[in-house]
Amino acid sequence: MSTRIFYIEDEPYLGRIVKETLEKQGYQVTWETDGARVLQVLETSDPDICVLDIMLPHVDGYELCRQIKDTRPGLPVIFLTAKAETQDLVRGFEAGGTDYIRKPFSMEEVIVRIENQLALTTQKLTAPGTVPEKIQLGKYTYLPHRYELISPEGTLRLSQRDSEILSQLSGSVNRVIDRRELLLSVWGDDSFFNSRNLDVYIRKIREYFKHDPGIRLQTLKGKGYLFLVSDH
């Protein structure tokens, strides 16, 4: 079965070029121009990956990405946008995006990025038994396969990236985890671009555990991270 791509772009000329090029490469493409209709289409199209513009009518791409990830936590979302400032990139990853392509772009790059995201997703899905169903972390209960972290204040819904990183940290509790190894295991490369993204996610994960003083995520300069979880 061909890969199903859900493509959200309101600019008709660009949208048509991207859709036709991807279809010529054998992909099955559902193209939507209106952000307000995306969740409805998502229910019926069952895509393997989503390619999303940020500047859309009726709803911005950041909010739309959050809604998509709430519905389909494991769905990779690639932002394809003209918004190229660092703060835009950070907002995209905080919203749950898994990759970010700046306009103007080449279709070769788009295809490579799509295949990379699909490969990373498949790799994680085809490694049964490597991550337990439930992990106890101090006052928290982490459910990796459900992308949930049960805290003293309630249940937190995690993004796919949150969960991938937390799974790596949870497997190295009270031991140093190398920063480069973490980048390679989650993103597949240790580029500066992905390194900045990792910094964003580390800050988020620290915030998630703020209700348990026995849990600390320390940055070790030049080495990596130490995820300390004390027994209660």
Q: What is the pLDDT of residue 207?
A: 93
Continuous H helices in the chain: 12-24, 38-45, 61-71, 86-94, 107-125, 160-170, 179-186, 192-208
CB atoms within 10 A of CB 73: 18
Domain limits, CATH 1.10.10.10, in the chain:
135-229
38 membership: H or E segment, kind and range: helix 38-45
Domain with CATH 3.40.50.2300 in the chain: 4-125
| Strand boundaries in 36-76, DSSP class E | 49-52
The architecture that CATH gives domain 135-229 is: Orthogonal Bundle (1.10)
Convert the pLDDT of each residue in 123-133 to its tens digit. Answer: 654 454 556 78
Confidence of residue 122 (pLDDT cuts 50, 70, 90): low
Find, among 202, 191, 144, the residue nearest to 171 by Cα: 144
- The second-level CATH assignment, the architecture, of 4-125 is 3-Layer(aba) Sandwich (3.40)
Average pLDDT, the chain: 86
Write the pLDDT tens digit of every residue in 14-62.
999 999 999 999 999 999 998 888 888 888 888 999 999 988 877 888 9
d(CA 50, CA 55): 15
The predicted pLDDT at position 35 comes to 84
For residues 134-158, give the mean pLDDT.
90
DSSP code of 29? E
Here the tokens at position 117 are 């995201």
